[in-house]
Amino acid sequence: MLRFQHISHLFALGILPVLLLLFIWMIYWRKKRLKALGDDRLVNDQIRGYIPGRNTTRFILASLGVAAIIIGWANLQMGSGMEKVQRKGVDVVIALDVSKSMLAQDIQPDRLTRAKQLVMRMIDKMQNDRVALIVFAGRAYLQVPLTIDYGAMKMMLQNVKPSLVPTQGTVISEAVDLATQSFSEKEKKYKTMVIISDGEDHDEHAANKVKQASETGIIVHTVGIGSPQGTTLYDAETRAVKLDENGNPVISKLNEEELRSIASAGRGTYTLLRNTDDAADKLVDEIDGMEQKSLGAMVFTDYKSYFQWFLIAGLIFLLIEWFLPGANLKMKTKTT
């Protein structure tokens, strides 16, 4: 099993597209400057040390060096030892609303980002529970089945956005159906579901579906994202306030009443997200307080690190780039 010990460090790879844009701009600027001196071929022939394509080669070497060092910084590891350990926990399905209303900014930076931060905090506080991720809007999709691989869960969570579910709406009932299918039908306990949503687009079937799920032993908690006062929504295409069919601004509001009724039907709790850590503590405490089952599993207990090979490769690329001579604009001198 491969993993990155510090997976968040890979975000630094985002510097590479920036460097590429700067390189393209530099080429454009250089060509424009040389063109002002005269014919490109003649000017290049007079530049000391000029070799076609060398600047591109140096850029590729430098980019490979930076990329290798960043990957080394994240520390790629491979599991080298396994043992079966006794784990006790419950199965937790997190259903995350990704409808466009979750992009509202009545809580900063926006509802969806705060919801993802909450899930991240919950995962950090969990130890032995199996976790699954469902995203939903007008439809519901299982993104991560029940797993103890929290790293994979976090990686998938980073890519969650409204475009994952093209059909708009807030169909909580479909998310509940999908969660019910994800749990073992043989067990009447050890199962819980956390629905994170703003509760918009009232789903009249949600409470009944949750009640049916509760009868199979599933405890359903809900988390409200947003504010009851609401805020306007912005259209990503027009970059203007979104308007309804009558030309009035669309106001997106948190529907606490809907989320409270769902939690009540599911024998769970409702939490209004204010402080992310407090909300995560409350939910994890509720989960830890449930009766737990034995989850014997083979887990990696020792990992071998390979960061040094990436660092060495990165330094070699950078050294090669550094030793390649560069051209300059000094004119060649004729010898007689």
Amino acid found at 254: L
pLDDT classification of 334: cutoffs 50, 70, 90:
very low
- CA dihedral for 147, 152, 154, 156, sign (positive or negative): negative
CATH number at residue 195: 3.40.50.410
Q: What mean pLDDT do residues 117-143 have?
A: 93
Whole-model pTM over 0.85: no
Same domain for 311 and 284: no
Structural tokens at position 299 = 């887990």
pLDDT at 47: 55
Q: Which residue has the higher pLDDT, 5 or 73?
A: 73
Same domain for 169 and 206: yes
Structural domain includes residue 56 = yes
Using DSSP bridges, classify how beta strands 297-305 and 76-85 pair: parallel, antiparallel or unpaired: antiparallel
Q: What mean pLDDT do residues 35-56 have?
A: 62
Same domain for 167 and 131: yes
Structural domain includes residue 331 = no
Same domain for 181 and 97: yes
Same domain for 307 and 168: no
Q: Three-state SS for 235? A: strand
Structural domain includes residue 62 = yes
Burial class (CB in 10 A: 0-12, 13-18, 19+), 41: exposed
Position 329 pLDDT exceeds 50: no
Same domain for 92 and 76: no
- Residue 44: closest CA among 55, 320, 59: 55
Same domain for 246 and 124: yes
Structural domain includes residue 330 = no
Those residues with Cβ within 8 angstroms of residue 194's Cβ, 6 or more apart along the chain or in another chain: 92, 93, 94, 95, 122, 220, 221, 222, 223, 283
Same domain for 269 and 317: no
Same domain for 150 and 61: no
Of all residues in the chain, the percent with pLDDT exceeding 90 is 48
Same domain for 225 and 189: yes
pLDDT classification of 220: cutoffs 50, 70, 90:
very high
Same domain for 275 and 212: yes
Tally of domains within the chain: 2
pLDDT at 185: 80
* Structural domain harbouring 135: 87-294
Q: Three-state SS for 38? A: coil
Same domain for 76 and 20: yes
Q: What is the C-alpha separation between 46 and 33, in angstroms, rounded?
A: 15
Distances (CA, A) of 160 to 67, 136, 142, 291: 25, 11, 12, 31
Those residues with Cβ within 8 angstroms of residue 193's Cβ, 6 or more apart along the chain or in another chain: 92, 93, 94, 95, 176, 179, 213, 218, 219, 220, 221, 266, 268
Structural domain includes residue 258 = yes
pLDDT classification of 332: cutoffs 50, 70, 90:
very low
Structural domain includes residue 334 = no
Q: Which residue has the higher pLDDT, 315 or 243?
A: 315
Structural domain includes residue 76 = yes
Burial class (CB in 10 A: 0-12, 13-18, 19+), 173: buried
Using DSSP bridges, classify how beta strands 234-235 and 240-241 pair: parallel, antiparallel or unpaired: antiparallel
> How big is the chain by its Cα radius of gyration, in Å?
27
Structural domain includes residue 55 = yes
